[in-house]
Amino acid sequence: MTGATGLAGIDAVIIGVYLLGVLLLGGWFGRYVHTAGDFFMAGRVLPFWAVGMSIVVSDIGATDFIAVSGGTYKYGLAQANFDWLGSMPALVIAAFVFVPFYWRSGVFTIPEFLGRRYGPLVQTILALCWGVILVINLGIMIHATGILLRGVLGWPPAVSILVTTVIVGIYTIRGGLAAVVMTDVVQLVVMFVGGTALVARALWEVGGPWAMRDRILGLGPDYADHFSLYLPHDTATPFPWTGIVLGLGIVLSTAYFTGNQAVVQRCLGARSEWDARAGVLFAGLLKLFIPLLVAVPGLAAILIVPGLANPDEAVPSLIRLLLPPGLRGLMFAAFLAALMSSVDSYLNSSSTLWTQDILGPLRARFGRPFDSRQQLRAGRITSAAVLVLAALVAPQIEQRFTNIYNAIQTVFSLIQGPTLAILVLGVLWRRANRHGATAGLVSGVMFCLLLNTPGMKGLFASEEPFLFVAWWSFLFSLAVTAVVSLATPPEPPDRIRGLVWGDVTSDPEVQAMLRARLARAESSESP
Amino acid sequence: MTILRTLFDLTLGTAERAMAALPLSSARWFALVLLIVPVLLVARIRPQTLLADAPDAARWRDLRWWAALFTLPYVLIYFWAG
C-alpha cells in the first residue's frame, strides 16, 4: 500500500534499514577517534579502493542525480563531459604530480601546503575563500535534498533538510573522516544498485537505448545535438566545446582533483603514498560509469515526462512514475546515499579547513595553540556550525540559479582558476614566491568576481560562462603570479626545500627529510 | 566599469572570436590530446619512484599501467562517440 508520502511500506522499511545501517556504521567508527589525526585523516589507514570509492561518491552527490540528469534533459549528453573529460586527465595528473607532494609534506589541507610554500598570508586568504565556498556548496547540496524530497515525497523542504542533516551530522561529527569514507563505500554500492534499477526501468519504458536515441533526435532541431559530446563555440548552452576543453578539461577539473579539500583529504588519509595514488586512479575508472547512471535517466525523461519547466524535476518525476514499491525505496535510499556522502565529505573537509587553517593559526597568534584534544573538539564544533550555516544558505540557491549544477560550477569557478595557478607555479617553478602568489590569488578572485558582474554580461557567448571565467582567471593569475614573483626577491632555498618538483622526485636528501617529517607528523598525532 | 568592459572586449573578445573560428571537428583532437598527453608524460616516471612505499613490487602495482588502462575507454569514447 502506498501512503500519503508516495512511498509504500516496503519502501519505508528499505529506507529505514539503510539509514539505521549508515548511522550505526558511522557511529561505530567514532570509537576509534581519539586524536585530531584520527578525526581529520582517519588515522592514515585507508586502502586504495576506499579512497577511490570515497572520492567518486563525494563528487557525485544527490546534486548529480538531480542536476546532471536535469542538465542532460535540457542540454543533452554534453553534460557527461563533466564526468569523463572533466575527470580522467585531471586524476592522472593528481595521482602522479600533486598527491606525492601533499602526502610527503604531512599536511592536513591544501591551504596548509600552500602556507608552507608561500607563507601564512596565502594560507589564510585561501582558507577563508575555500571556507566560504565549501559552506555555499554544502548549502547547494542541501537545497538539492529539498528538491528531491519535494518531488518524490511531497515533503516540505525544511523537514527534509532537518532529517538528513541531523543524521549526517551525528555520524560525521562523531566518527570523522574514517566514518565518512567507510559510509561512502556502502553508499556507493547502494547508489550503483539503485541507479541501475532506474536506468533499466527507464530504458525499458522508452524501448531501449537505440530507440531512445532515434526518438529524441526525431523530436526536431532543438534536440539535434543531444547525443553529441562536442557543442559549437556559439551554442546557447553553457557547454561549448572550447569551454569544455579549456575551462573544464584544463582548469576546473585539474583544480578540483588537485586542490579541492574534500578530494585531497581522502588521499591524505590513505595508508601509504601508493594507496593514495592508486585510489585516485581507481576513482578515474569508477567515474567512467557515472554518466550512465545519471545522464541516461535525464535523456529518457525527455520522452517520458516532456516539457518540464524545471529540468531538475526530471529524475524525481521518473521515480514517481516508473518505479514500483520496493525499487522506489531502493532508489530513494540511493538518493539519500548520494546526498549524505557528499554532505558528510564536504562537512568534514570544511571543518578541517576552518580548524586547521583559520582557528588554529588564530589561536596560535594569541599564544594559545590547540593541543590535539582541543583540536578534535574544535573540529566537531565547527562541523556543527558549518552544517547550520549551510542549511541557512540553502533556500537562497533556487532564486539565483537556473540549474543546480551550474550553481555549483559557478561558485567553484570563482576560486578554482586562481588556486590552480598558484598551486602549479608553486610546485613546478622554484622562482614563484609569496608576493607573487598573494597578488595572483587576490587579483585572480577579484577578476572572477568582475567577470560575473552584470556589466560583463554578453562578453562571452554562453549565458552562464563559468567555463571561460575559470580559464581566463587561471591565465590571469598565472601571469600576475609570474610577473610579481620575478619583480620581487626569490624565496630562500632552504625555506622551499622539499616543496618543489625537482627536490621531491630526484634529491635523496630531500626525500629522507620528507620521510622524517611525515614520521614526526604521524607520531605527534598519536594519543 | 566602462573602461574595463572595453578592455575586456578588446582582449577576451578577440580571443573569443579566435576560438569561434576553430572548426567543431577540431574538438575531437583537442579532447584526445588532453586525455593522452598526461598518460604519455607519466610513462616517463621511473617505476622505482612509484613503487617506493608499495607493499611489494608486483607488476600490477605499477601505476603507469593503471593510468593507461583506465584512460583507454575514455579515448575510445571521445574518438568514436564524440
Alpha helices in chain B (DSSP H): 2-21, 26-42, 47-50, 63-76
Best residue in B11, B14, B33, B50 for a mutation probing chain A (most A CBs within 10 Å): B50
Asked if ipTM goes beyond 0.95, one says no
- Whether A229 and B5 lie within 8 Å, measured CB to CB: no
Amino acid A105: pLDDT: 75
Nearest Cα to Cα of residue A268 among A10, A518, A526: A518
Q: Residue B29 to residues B5, B32, B40: CA-CA distances in angstroms?
A: 33, 5, 16
Return the top range by mean pLDDT from A266-270, A307-311, A480-484, B56-60.
A480-484
User: Mean pLDDT throughout A366-383?
Assistant: 82
Q: Is the pLDDT of residue A527 over 50?
A: no
More confident residue, A400 or A96: A96
Q: Is the pLDDT of residue A501 over 50?
A: yes
CA separation for the pair A72, A69 (Å, rounded):
5
Amino acid B10: pLDDT: 81
- Whether A505 and B20 lie within 8 Å, measured CB to CB: no
Helix (H, G, I), strand (E, B) or coil at A8: strand
Exposed/middle/buried for residue A277 (C-beta within 10 Å: 0-12, 13-18, 19+): buried
Show the cell assigned to A477.
Answer: 593569475
Amino acid A193: pLDDT: 84
Nearest Cα to Cα of residue A448 among A110, A115, A133, A122: A133
Best residue in A87, A231, A233, A234 for a mutation probing chain B (most B CBs within 10 Å): A233
User: Mean pLDDT throughout B36-61?
Assistant: 84
Q: Tell me which chain B residue has its CA closest to the CA of residue A77.
A: B82
Best residue in B7, B30, B80 for a mutation probing chain A (most A CBs within 10 Å): B30
Return the top range by mean pLDDT from A41-50, A383-392, A415-424, A446-455.
A415-424
Amino acid A18: pLDDT: 80
Neighbouring C-beta atoms of residue A189, cutoff 10 Å: 14
For residue A513, name the pLDDT band (cuts at 50, 70, 90): low
**Which of A101-110, A128-137, A140-149, A350-359 bottoms out in mean pLDDT, i.e. has the lowest?**
A140-149
Residues of B with Cβ-Cβ distance to A285 under 8 angstroms: 70
- Whether B35 and A277 lie within 8 Å, measured CB to CB: no
**Which of A388-392, A406-410, B53-57 bottoms out in mean pLDDT, i.e. has the lowest?**
A406-410
Show the cell assigned to B23.
Answer: 572548426
User: Mean pLDDT throughout A64-76?
Assistant: 84
Residues of A with CB under 8 A from a CB of B: 84-85, 88-89, 92-93, 95-96, 228-230, 232-234, 241-242, 244-245, 249-250, 272-274, 277-278, 281-282, 284-285, 288, 450-451, 453, 455-456, 459-461, 468, 472, 505
Residues of B with Cβ-Cβ distance to A456 under 8 angstroms: 5, 8
pLDDT, averaged across chain B: 86
Euclidean distance between the first and the last CA atom of chain B, given in angstroms as a whole number: 40
- pLDDT tens track for A305-327: 988 888 888 888 888 888 888 88
Helix (H, G, I), strand (E, B) or coil at B23: coil
Picking from A92, A96, A456, the nearest residue to B8 by CB comes out as A456
Amino acid A439: pLDDT: 95
Alpha helices in A76-217 (DSSP H): 88-93, 99-105, 110-118, 120-152, 157-206, 209-217
CA separation for the pair B12, A417 (Å, rounded):
16
Q: Is the pLDDT of residue A62 over 70?
A: no
Q: Residue A208 to residues A128, A139, A178, A213: CA-CA distances in angstroms?
A: 49, 37, 41, 9
Which residues of B, range 58-77, sit inside 8 Å of A by Cβ?
A: 61, 63, 66-67, 70-71, 73-74, 77
Picking from B13, B41, B51, the nearest residue to A459 by CB comes out as B13
Contact yes or no for A141/A61 (Cβ under 8 A): yes
Compute the Cα dihedral for A180, A184, A190, A194 and give only its sign: positive
Q: Tell me which chain B residue has its CA closest to the CA of residue A475.
A: B12
Show the cell assigned to A411.
Answer: 561558485
Return the top range by mean pLDDT from A68-72, A135-139, A341-345, A481-485.
A481-485
Amino acid B82: pLDDT: 60
- Whether A242 and B31 lie within 8 Å, measured CB to CB: no
Picking from B13, B70, B73, the nearest residue to A281 by CB comes out as B70
- pLDDT tens track for A28-38: 777 777 777 77
Scan for cell 561558485, then name that residue.
A411
Min CA distance, B57 vs chain A (Å)? 11
Q: Is the pLDDT of residue A345 over 90?
A: no
Query: DSSP labels for A206-250?
Result: HTSHHHHHHHHHTT-GGGTTTT-S-B-TT-SSS-BHHIIIIIIII
- Whether A284 and B70 lie within 8 Å, measured CB to CB: yes
CA separation for the pair B13, A514 (Å, rounded):
46
User: Mean pLDDT throughout B6-13?
Assistant: 81
% pLDDT > 70, chain A: 88
Which residues of B, range 20-59, sit inside 8 Å of A by Cβ?
A: 20, 22, 24, 27-28, 30-31, 34-35, 37-39, 41-42, 45, 49-55
- Whether A88 and B74 lie within 8 Å, measured CB to CB: yes
Show the cell assigned to A141.
Answer: 547540496
Q: Residue A303's Cα: distance from chain center in Å?
A: 31
- Whether A95 and B61 lie within 8 Å, measured CB to CB: no
Q: What is the DSSP letter of A46?
A: B
pLDDT, averaged across chain A: 82
Min CA distance, B64 vs chain A (Å)? 9
User: Mean pLDDT throughout A188-203?
Assistant: 87
Q: Is the pLDDT of residue A147 over 80?
A: no
Contact yes or no for A128/A50 (Cβ under 8 A): no
Amino acid A5: pLDDT: 47
CA separation for the pair A428, A426 (Å, rounded):
6
Show the cell assigned to A394.
Answer: 540553502
For residue A341, name the pLDDT band (cuts at 50, 70, 90): confident
CA separation for the pair A203, A350 (Å, rounded):
39
Scan for cell 611525515, then name that residue.
A518
Q: Is the pLDDT of residue B4 over 90?
A: no
- Ramachandran area for residue A33 (φ above 0: left; ψ -120 to 50: alpha; else beta): beta
Q: Is the pLDDT of residue A441 over 80?
A: yes
